[in-house]
Chain A
Amino acid sequence: MKVFIDPPNSLILYDLVERFGHEPLGAMASIQERIDNIELDLPPMNVTLDDVVKGLKYAGVEVPSGIRGRLALWGPLIDQADAALIMLDPPFNFGCVGCERSNEMVRYLIRRRGIPALSVAYPGNEAEAKVSVGRIKEFLEGLK
């Protein structure tokens, strides 16, 4: 099954989804498609004007273009996902995945689609890690 991961470029979630036998849907494949198929020499390298227009399907015109640009990449992935795995409040939620409004919108789109989704807290110690990984394993093994 195709499992959307949030944050969409997370190494940990990508690895865990693959490890437990599913296909992770992360931002990397979408970005690679743009890198391989479009000549991009200057920044912004990942998002074009067309992407921002495509993002209108997922967010209104009054929404900042940065959010629409992100959703142009992530929205189609959510559309084709069979399930979703969300890690809440990771400490690395800054930089290119640090837009909280985009993240809220992603979680809303996942809920609106009604696909099975698991939200787990980011582990801060070993006990929490055992619970989080255990829940992820149980969720992914239960998907059929």
Chain B
Amino acid sequence: MSDERETRLFMISPVSNVTPDQLVRAIHAMGKGVKVKETCYGCLAEGLVADVKEVTGEIRGRYPYDVFSKRRAYPAGDPRRCRAEHGTRPGYAQLEAEWESLPLIACGLESCDRGETHEIPPEPEKLSVEDFKKITEAAR
């Protein structure tokens, strides 16, 4: 595995009041020496694996329900992916869909932190062959 470089994608939840600028400033202020690139959805942070892990931990502690993150394969500003360089962006449809769901996940995390318990819904039973036969024959 590539252990020297880690590029981390930070995405701000759509219901959050945190701005990408605030996020970038917060990371710069940590003084970890990671490279930060502000984006429309949040920012990219790139540096040594240990430094980026520290940054991720601190950001998660500061904005537990506002900022979500994952590792990114391509370096920040890579011409094959960067919009400024007309790179292709194959993963963006998924990122956008997940971005819309972040408030729900934050709601679930808040609920867990409050110690709420929830009943697990029973799994739907499989349709028996006899019932399936009845359904198909009823339509004849």
From residue 2 to 20 of chain B, which have CB atoms closer than 8 A to chain A? 2, 5, 7, 9, 11
How far, in Å, is A30 (CB) from chain B's closest CB? 8
How far, in Å, is B51 (CB) from chain A's closest CB? 16
Of the listed residues A27, A37, A129, A137, the one surrounded by the most CB atoms of chain B closer than 10 A to its CB is A129
Asked if A97 lies at the interface with its beta carbon under 8 angstroms from chain B, I say yes
Of the listed residues B5, B11, B91, B119, the one surrounded by the most CB atoms of chain A closer than 10 A to its CB is B91
* A interface, over-half SS: helix
From residue 52 to 72 of chain B, which have CB atoms closer than 8 A to chain A? 56, 60, 68-72
Per-residue B-contact encoding for A105-144, CB less than 8 Å = 1, 0 else:
0000000000000000011011011111111010000000
Could you tell me how many residues of chain A have their Cβ less than 8 Å away from some Cβ of chain B? 42
How far, in Å, is B126 (CB) from chain A's closest CB? 15
Asked if A49 lies at the interface with its beta carbon under 8 angstroms from chain B, I say no
**Chain A residues with CB under 8 A of B111:** 130, 133-134
Asked if A61 lies at the interface with its beta carbon under 8 angstroms from chain B, I say no
The interface stretch among A51-59, A62-70, A88-96 is A88-96
Determine if A14 and B71 form an interchain contact, defined as CB atoms under 8 angstroms apart. yes
Asked if B82 lies at the interface with its beta carbon under 8 angstroms from chain A, I say no
Could you tell me how many residues of chain B have their Cβ less than 8 Å away from some Cβ of chain A? 40
Asked if A36 lies at the interface with its beta carbon under 8 angstroms from chain B, I say yes
Per-residue A-contact encoding for B92-124, CB less than 8 Å = 1, 0 else:
011101100110110111011000111111000
8 interchain residue pairs of minimum CB distance? A133-B108, A92-B97, A31-B73, A129-B104, A14-B70, A129-B108, A92-B94, A32-B73
6 interchain pairs, CB-CB under 8 A: A15-B70, A33-B2, A92-B98, A126-B104, A130-B112, A130-B118
Besides A91-B97, A122-B101, 19 more A-B contacts (Cβ < 8 Å) are: A9-B94, A11-B98, A12-B101, A12-B102, A14-B70, A14-B71, A19-B109, A28-B71, A29-B1, A33-B2, A36-B2, A37-B2, A92-B94, A94-B94, A96-B90, A96-B94, A130-B112, A131-B119, A135-B120
